[in-house]
Amino acid sequence: MSTIDEIKAKIDIVDLVSEAGVKLRHAGKNYTGFCPFHDNKHTPAFVVWPESGTWRCFGQCNEGGDIFKFVMKREGLDFKDALQKLADRAGVKVESLQREAPQVKEAHERLRLLLEDVIIYYRTHLFNNKEILTYLREKRKLTDATIETFGLGYAPHGYDNLLKQFLPKGYSEQELIDAGMLSVRDADTSASRHSDTHSFDRFRNRIMIPIRDENGRMAGFGARIVDPNDIPKFLNSPETPIFTKGHLLYGLDRARKPIRVADQAVIVEGYLDVIALHQAGYENVVSPMGTALTEDQLRLLKKSTRRIVLALDPDTAGQKAVLRGLDAARSAMDREGELGFDARGLLRNEARLQADLRVASMPDDLDPDEIVARDKDEWKRLIESAKPIVTHVMDSLAVGQNLNDAKVKNQIAAQVLPLIEDLPNALERDTYRQALARMLKVDERALMSTQSQVPVMRRRPRGTTQTSQADKSVVAVNPNLKIESYCLGVLLRRPDLLYRLDKNFQEFGLSTLAVEDFEYTDHQLLFSVVRLAVEQDQKDHHHYVMSHLPETINDLSKELVSQIEKLEPVEDKILEDLLARFIDLRRANAMINNNQLRFLQEEDQQQGGANIKMYQEQNLQLAKLIHSLDQAKRKLSLKRQA
């Protein structure tokens, strides 16, 4: 997740605009008010869309944008200063915005190269160990192709294997430590009795599982015990310059495209569950590597889907935690390898991310890999029948309980009602209250009475001070954001396509591409560089783009290009695909503006119609634009069929 995305996610545009002195009022899902950028106190032509985190003035300004554009225009700042200001507000560190120093980047790349070499070393030991191979093949039902694909290996017994193997290859002891492969000796450890060095192999007699980031770059290892008496059952790489467990999801590098195709991500507990499910054809599966889910991990998934299923193992402490109060799901966990279930935390993430989080419970005390081995189709049915979080909690609390006992009813209500009240949507709250009343066989009014005695966490009223980030509802993804991101990714990779796009747009009777075609400030900045690149003739277009990107959006550009490289667009269809997407983008924006204008026009008529002519002219222009775009789309369709 880029720093820019994190800032957007943590700052509510309605709060930001309100604090700037703009009085906003509800208008359906949106907010309207008087534009702060020009003198007009008669018509509330300033509109804020909370779901996309954007704003627009339909009056004299006729401008719009996101939170960055608002601050830039309001306070006369450039993007870098606006970014710093909003980063401070959001509590986001700006160090990640700075371009990685060449020497640091080189050091990190060397650590990744070292880890790639370690994979080969561990793999060699695996294929020389028949016992471990037999376990993976027969007990875990993994094919040799799967073992090879996921780079599984084996760390042999011993404390100085890696030093002996990699020092002669030119790697230093410190590099092995920095990569998380060696642990520094503690005088009290048994390792000190077996080694004369100040460090020793972190992983010994374990099945080794390479962990890559979402872009496929090596980050670290997960290691599973071979000897059942060893502890812990799972051991991960320590925190290193390239490995932060809470920011990674195991298997995401392979699952990103399948997640997009399925429009759903499934989260399971273990590495071997992920591997077995991928082998069975369920490739939209990832794992948080034995930790409670973090918001950063969910945001990684949010880039590809908002439909997420948490598939809980039957014996995890997470399941039992439901009965212990829900808020401290991991309080009793003293070992890795157990996925925490924090219902309230998940609900808050669901609200902040505007996601659809569901829970699927595994039957018959089976793990996911065992289920798919028993019946491959059963896994599909289990995921399809996943329940919303609140429903899952209600059902879990009711298992084995006497629901005719008044005290039991009161205990369940006391645990479920706070969850229901955390939900931001009034309709969902009412629906779940009714479901809880039916389950407990009580009158819903009794629950409403109980509710007043239960401490609840409701969203802070707008306009008040002292905001809590935990209660923030963050920007949802604008449906157009994916289109913008895709188009920019292609243009950053192939700036030369802009010439041909402009030519086609002119042939369709449409204006050439401009920064106004993009809704987000960072996207506008990126497109500006692409436009400058094709308008100069001194440097290669791609080289110009890469060397002139503002430091603040360098990470974003890499992310967009990386996403395109994963998609691998068909070469002879790229231009037509871009044309279609840009046409769709313009039409979607035109329709949004057209619908909002009609609302403003009706409101203006009720107040005397002082600006009716202006709105009519804008509506007419939009109608012409929509008609031209529809004609262009038809021509493009005919061209494709020819």
pTM: 0.56
| pLDDT tens for each residue of 200-228 | 999 999 999 999 998 899 999 999 999 98
Of these ranges, 253-267, 550-564, 569-583, 612-626, the one predicted with the greatest mean pLDDT is 253-267
**pLDDT tens readout for residues 301-312:** 877 888 999 987
> 162-188: per-residue pLDDT in tens?
999 999 999 999 999 999 999 987 554
Give 459-465's long-range contacts (Cβ < 8 A, gap of 24+). Answer: 459/424, 462/14, 462/15, 462/18, 462/24, 463/15, 463/18, 463/19
Share of the chain above pLDDT 70, in %: 83
- The CATH H-level (homologous superfamily) assignment of domain 102-238 is DNA primase, catalytic core, N-terminal domain (3.90.980.10)
pLDDT tens per residue across span 339-394: 456 676 777 667 666 678 898 988 888 889 999 999 999 999 999 999 998 898 89
Cα–Cα nearest to 486, from 553, 574, 547, 554: 574
The answer on pLDDT for 133 being more than 90 is: yes
Out of 3.40.50.12280, 3.90.580.10, 3.40.50.920, 3.40.190.10, select the CATH number for domain 3-91: 3.90.580.10
Contact between residue 298 and residue 308 where contact means Cβ atoms under 8 Å apart: yes
> Rounded CA gap, 339 and 318, in Å?
6
pLDDT at 599 (0 to 100)? 80
Cis peptide before 569 (omega within 30 of 0): no
Domain limits, CATH 3.90.980.10, in the chain? 102-238
Which of 101-105, 136-140, 378-382 is the least confident region?
101-105
Rounded CA-CA distance 398/376 in Å is: 29
**Residues ≥6 apart with Cβ < 8 Å to 404:** 441
Q: Alpha helices, DSSP H only, in 290-443?
A: 295-302, 317-321, 343-353, 368-374, 376-384, 389-398, 406-422, 426-440
pLDDT at 566 over 70: no
The CATH fold assigned to 479-641 is DNAb Helicase; Chain A (1.10.860)
pLDDT in tens, 435-492: 999 999 988 888 876 655 544 433 333 333 333 333 333 334 456 788 888 899 999 9
The second-level CATH assignment, the architecture, of 247-451 is 3-Layer(aba) Sandwich (3.40)
Which residues in the chain are classed under CATH 1.10.860? 479-641
What average pLDDT score do residues 280-297 get? 84
Q: Any idea what DSSP says for residue 196? A: S
From-to residues of CATH 3.90.580.10 in the chain: 3-91
Instruction: Say if residue 326's pLDDT is above 70.
Output: no
